[in-house]
Amino acid sequence: MIRDLVIDNRSYRSFDESRRIGREDLVDLVDTVRLCPSAVNRQPLKYRLVHEPEEVEEVLSHTHWAGLLPDVKLPPDGHHPTAFIAVCCDKTITENPDSARTDCGIAAQTILLMATELGFGGCMIGAFEREEVALSLRLPKKLSPMLLIALGVPDETVMICDLPKDGNTAYFRDKANLHFVPKRSLEDVIVE
């Protein structure tokens, strides 16, 4: 059921490093995501696969995680993602990467849903140093990195909960390090 998959597909920020994602897994993900909708069917997105351990660590060093939890080190040492997919806009296809934002969102969620179905999980990372990542990955000038998708086998618990009375949407962790993600209610999001 797509609903179950959507519920299971949380943003995970801690991973079991002993169970690495291989290049074939990443290729399978991209082979599906290339079939997604695209504005004017231009298909400007290109995907850089990152799975070699040194390269994963290099990319990770240019990323920022869980900005709402500044006192928690995420991902924790020894629990790093084992792969990234860098979603890039090919500027020879679309000059303005902003026009590819919706394509990028569709692609990212599709990758994560499929990864969840395969027993993996991950987190979209928009907070990263674009120039450093482009340099580290030796991306050609025509490719502008838009979003990173960190992937691995999650080893933490993330749960959806109702919004508190004050309406604060900030995610939080309890003393047992369980991660809670408040979601707006159905009544709150349907416009009558």
Q: Which of 5, 7, 27, 127 binds ligand FMN (CB under 6 A)?
A: 127
Three-state SS for 185?
coil
125 contributes a contact to ligand FMN by CB under 6 A: yes
CB closer to ligand FMN out of 13 and 46? 13
User: Is the Cα dihedral 137, 143, 149, 151 positive or negative?
Assistant: negative
The interface region with ligand FMN, picked from 36-44, 82-90, 121-129, 130-138 by CB under 6 A, is 121-129
d(CA 156, CA 165): 26
The interface region with ligand FMN, picked from 8-16, 23-31, 33-41, 75-83 by CB under 6 A, is 8-16
124 contributes a contact to ligand FMN by CB under 6 A: yes
Q: Which of 15, 47, 65, 84 binds ligand FMN (CB under 6 A)?
A: 65
Site for ligand FMN in 157-186 (CB under 6 A): 158, 171, 181
64 contributes a contact to ligand FMN by CB under 6 A: yes
String marking each residue 11-50 x if it binds ligand FMN according to CB under 6 A: x-x-------------------------------------
Long-range contacts of 65-69 (CB under 8 A, 24+ apart): 65/13, 65/123, 65/125, 65/127, 66/13, 66/171, 67/127, 68/170, 68/171, 68/172, 69/171, 69/172, 69/173
b or e along 80-107 (b: 16 or more beta carbons within 10 Å of the residue's beta carbon)? bbbbbbbbbbbbeebeebeebeebbebb
The interface region with ligand FMN, picked from 20-28, 39-47, 77-85, 124-132 by CB under 6 A, is 124-132
d(CA 89, CA 68): 28
Where along the sequence are the contacts to ligand FMN (CB under 6 A)? 10-11, 13, 64-66, 123-127, 158, 171, 181
